Structure 1
C-alpha cells in the first residue's frame, strides 16, 4: 500500500503543479483576452442601454412636440373657423344692408313714381273737368242767352256779384 499511496500523493502533486502551470498560462494568454472581451461586451451593453435610454427620451420629446403641434394646430384651426364665421357674418350683414338699401331705394322710387303719376292724373282730371265745365257752361249759356234781354240780365248779375266781393 505504500507504493499506491506514494503514487497517489505524487500524482496529486503533479496534478497540482500542472493545474498551477495551467492557471499561469491561462492567466497570461487567455485571462486577459477573456476579460477584455467581457469588458468590451459590458461596454457595448452599457452603450446600447444608454442609446435605448436616449431613444426613449427622444421618442418622449417627439411625442411632446407632436402633442404641442397638434394643440397649436387645433388652436389655429379654431381661430381660422372663428375668423371665417366672423367674415361670413360680416358678409351676410353687409349683403343684408345692401339689399335693404336697394329695397328702400326701389320703394322710394316707386313712391315718387306713384306720386308723379297721381299728380299727373289729378292734373289731367282737372283739365278734363275744366274742359267739360267750359263745354257744359257754354252749352247752358247758349240756351239761356238766346235773346238780348237774358244776356243783359246775366251781365248785370255778374257785375253786381263782383262788386260785392
Structure 2
C-alpha cells in the first residue's frame, strides 16, 4: 500500500478516471439500459401474470359461487318436484279410496235392494204356500165333517144360528 502511495501519478490517475467514466457511460448506453429494460419487462410480465392469476382466482370464486347457487336451485327444484309427486300420489290414493267408497255404497244399495226384492218374493211365496196349505187343510176338514150326515146337519144348524137376518 505504501508503494502505491509513493508511486502515485496524477496524470495516470486522470487518464484512468477518464477511461473509467467513459467505460461507465459506454456500459450505461450499451449494457445497462438493455439489461434494465429487460428486467423491467420481466417485472411487468411477472406482474401481469400475477394480475391474471388474481383475476382467474376471482373468476374461479365467482364460478364456484354460481355453481353453489345452481346446485341449491337444482336441489330446491328437485325437492319441489318430489313434493309435487308426493301430492299427486296422495291425491290419486284419496281419489281411488273415494271411488272405492262410492262403488261400495252402490254395491251395498244394490245388495239391499236385491235382498228386499227376494224377501218380498219369499214372503209372497210363503203366503201362497200357507194359503194352499190352508185350503188343503180346510178341504180335508170339510170332507171329514161332511162325510157324516149327522155332522152335516149340526154344522148347517150352527151356521144358521150364527147367521143374522137383516
TM-score normalised according to structure 1 size: 0.84
**2:18 aligned residue:** 17
- Work out which of the residue numbers 149, 155, 161 in structure 1 matches 2:153: 149
Change in 2 beyond 3 A, CA 1:157/1:38: farther
Structure 2: tracts of 5 or more residues without a match: none
**2:8 aligned residue:** 5
1:74 partnered with 2:70? no
Change in 2 beyond 3 A, CA 1:97/1:136: same
Give the paired residue count. Answer: 160
Shift of 1:3: 7.0
Bigger shift: residues 126-135 or 43-52: 43-52
1:57 partnered with 2:58? yes
1:100 partnered with 2:101? yes
Name the SS of the counterpart of 1:23 in structure 2. Answer: helix
**1:48 aligned residue:** 49
Name the SS of the counterpart of 1:5 in structure 2. Answer: coil
Structure 1's consecutive aligned runs of 4 or more residues displaced over 3 angstroms after TM superposition are 9-15, 150-158
Shift of 1:21: 1.6
Q: Distance in 2 between matches of 1:67 and 1:118?
A: 75
Shift of 1:77: 1.5
Q: Distance in 2 between matches of 1:157 and 1:45?
A: 148
**2:122 aligned residue:** 121
1:136 partnered with 2:145? no
Change in 2 beyond 3 A, CA 1:154/1:19: farther
TM-score normalised according to structure 2 size: 0.83
Structure 1: tracts of 5 or more residues without a match: none
Q: Distance in 2 between matches of 1:142 and 1:121?
A: 31
1:61-105 alpha-carbon deviations (Å, 9 max, x no partner): 111101111111121122112111111110110011011111111
Shift of 1:11: 4.7
